[in-house]
Amino acid sequence: MAVDITQMRKGLLEFCVLAQLEGEPRYGYELVQRLGEVDGMLTSEGTIYPLLARLHREGLVAVERRPTTSAGPPRKYYRLSAPGHRALTSFRREWATLRTAIDRTLQGGAR
Amino acid sequence: MSAPHATAIIEGYLARLDLGLGGSDPQRRRELVEDVRAHFAEARAALADETDEDLLAICDRLGEPADLAREVGSTTVVAQPASAPYVWSWLEVAAIALTVMAWPVGAILMLLSRVWTRREKVIATAIGAVTFAMGFPLSAPFVGPVVGTLVPSLGSAAPLFVGTLGSLPLVAAAYLAYRLTRTNSPRVRLA
């Protein structure tokens, strides 16, 4: 059962990442920090990188490299693409319905 | 200042990650190692005076290299069964029909379809474009021979010439239709 929860969390993390990119482009480490602030969201920080690579391959995010203010190498910024926007909007709608349905079912079981 | 064993800790982590990615796509492998290397750089930049413990804590938070590698390890080949027939959609049917009746529209639909390969699209476009360039009004398969017959100035070879020209769109359409039946090969994609 614990494995199932991990899988579920992984699937949902994808949309949480997309949501973080909604306002402005962000780089990987910035996303790690933002998602790390939410308890239980990111069980291991490294998983965000394969996830971002996959979102990029699927065309849900675009990547651009921007120079850093310090002397370091350019940072990889992720930006939400138009399909990414659509996926997020559609997920928000689905999630609202699903959340209500599950809450109702779980409460019904306790009665 | 760098921690005493900074290089050993970080490079050790990256080496284990790279090793775990042994079976994956080379580009994905490079990309992930590069991303995690950048992560180390960012996390270290935030430390005032790093110690080995700080770096080990960064590794801990990243997770086991083998687990990360497994996330990428989805180089699973998802192949459709070879016998699965291609399901025709209106787009391909319209593209073929309009290649004969209204070439430019047919060509656009054909280019929009993802069924034909780039090579097939180039060939079909070339056939259509040649016909179009050599005289569009005469290129319709049925109009061409009739006009050719009615215009004596084109000479006695005109009906044959225009007729051949007029049948080119049919050739293009037949070619596209033929290739459509050859798309049953399994399509492989990286998950």
CATH of the domain at A105: 1.10.10.10
Give the C-alpha separation, B8 to B27, whole Å.
25
**Are B106 and B175 in the same domain?**
yes
In A, which residues are within 8 Å of B28 by CB distance?
53
Q: Indicate yes or no: CB of A45 within 8 angstroms of CB of B67.
A: no
In B, which residues are within 8 Å of A70 by CB distance?
45
Q: Indicate yes or no: CB of A76 within 8 angstroms of CB of B68.
A: no
Q: Provide the residue range defining the domain that includes A93.
A: 2-110
Q: Indicate yes or no: CB of A76 within 8 angstroms of CB of B62.
A: no
Whether residue B85 is predicted with pLDDT greater than 60 in this model: the reply is: no
Residue B1 neighbours by CB under 8 Å, 6+ apart:
B49, B50
Q: Write down the pLDDT at residue B145.
A: 62
> Quick one: CA dihedral A80, A84, A89, A92, positive or negative?
negative
The percentage of chain A sitting over the pLDDT mark of 70, rounded to a whole number, equals 95
Q: Residue B171 domain-assigned? A: yes
The percentage of chain B sitting over the pLDDT mark of 90, rounded to a whole number, equals 32
pLDDT digit string, tens, across residues B27-83: 999 999 999 999 999 999 989 899 999 999 999 999 999 999 998 865 433 333 444
More confident residue, B161 or B124: B124
**Are B32 and B64 in the same domain?**
yes
What is the distance in angstroms between the Cα of B177 and the nearest Cα belonging to chain A? 30
pLDDT digit string, tens, across residues B98-120: 888 777 788 888 888 877 877 78
In A, which residues are within 8 Å of B36 by CB distance?
46, 49
Q: Write down the pLDDT at residue A70.
A: 72
ipTM for the complex?
Answer: 0.89
Domain count for chain B, please give it.
2
Query: Is A25 at the interface with chain B, CB within 8 A?
Result: no
**Are B94 and B181 in the same domain?**
yes
Q: Residue B57 domain-assigned? A: yes
In B, which residues are within 8 Å of A37 by CB distance?
none
Q: Write down the pLDDT at residue B76.
A: 39
**Are B63 and B97 in the same domain?**
no
The percentage of chain A sitting over the pLDDT mark of 90, rounded to a whole number, equals 73
Outline where A1-111 has alpha helix (H). Answer: 2-20, 28-36, 48-57, 82-110
Domain count for chain A, please give it.
1
Best residue in A33, A44, A68 to probe B by mutation, most B CBs within 10 Å?
A: A44
Q: Residue B191 domain-assigned? A: no
Query: Is A28 at the interface with chain B, CB within 8 A?
Result: yes
Of B27, B44, B75, the one marking the end of a domain is: B75
Q: Write down the pLDDT at residue B156.
A: 60
Query: Is A11 at the interface with chain B, CB within 8 A?
Result: no
Angle between helices A48-57 and A2-20 (to 10 degrees): 60
Q: The whole model's pTM is what?
A: 0.60
Q: Tell me the pLDDT band of A47, cut-offs 50, 70 and 90.
A: very high
**Are B94 and B47 in the same domain?**
no
Outline where A37-81 has alpha helix (H). Answer: 48-57
Name the residue of chain A whose CA is nearest to B27's CA: A53
**Are B115 and B176 in the same domain?**
yes
- What average pLDDT does the segment A58-66 reach? 95
Q: Provide the residue range defining the domain that includes B56.
A: 6-75
| Averaged pLDDT score across all residues of chain B | 77
β-partners of residue B78 are B189
Of B75, B109, B134, the one marking the end of a domain is: B75
Q: Write down the pLDDT at residue B149.
A: 60
In B, which residues are within 8 Å of A73 by CB distance?
38, 41
